[in-house]
């Protein structure tokens, strides 16, 4: 199974693969953008408040990495 197919399968029912939304952040198979896709899909089907906070955390982390990649200091 390709990585793209795996992500699409997980997005259909993330709770089948992960016990908690926070487990997505610890899955080393995926980069932050892929983790974000999974969490957004999970949030869309569940509406759980915990997922929204994890999405915000992940986006902040991605913004910090983007800033560092462009020669900006992370603040």
7-36 confidence digits (pLDDT tens): 999 999 999 999 999 999 999 999 999 999
Contact 50, 24 (CB under 8 A): no
Predicted local distance difference test score (pLDDT) of residue 46? 80
Nearest Cα to 40, choosing from 62, 28, 58? 58
Note whether 28 and 57 are within 8 A (CB): no
pTM of the predicted protein model: 0.74
Contact 64/58 with Cβ under 8 angstroms? no
Percent of the chain whose predicted confidence (pLDDT) is above 90 = 65
40 closest CA partner among 26, 20, 54: 54
Q: Dig out the tokens for 43 from the structure.
A: 């949030």
> Above 90 in pLDDT, residue 70?
no
């Amino acid at each position: 199974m390709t990585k793209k197919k795996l992500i699409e399968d997980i997005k259909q029912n993330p709770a089948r693969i992960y016990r908690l939304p926070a487990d997505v952040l610890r899955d080393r198979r995926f980069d932050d953008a892929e983790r974000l896709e999974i969490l957004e899909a999970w949030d869309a089907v569940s509406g759980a408040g915990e997922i929204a906070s994890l999405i915000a955390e992940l986006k902040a982390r991605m913004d910090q990495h983007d800033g560092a990649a462009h020669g900006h200091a992370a603040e």
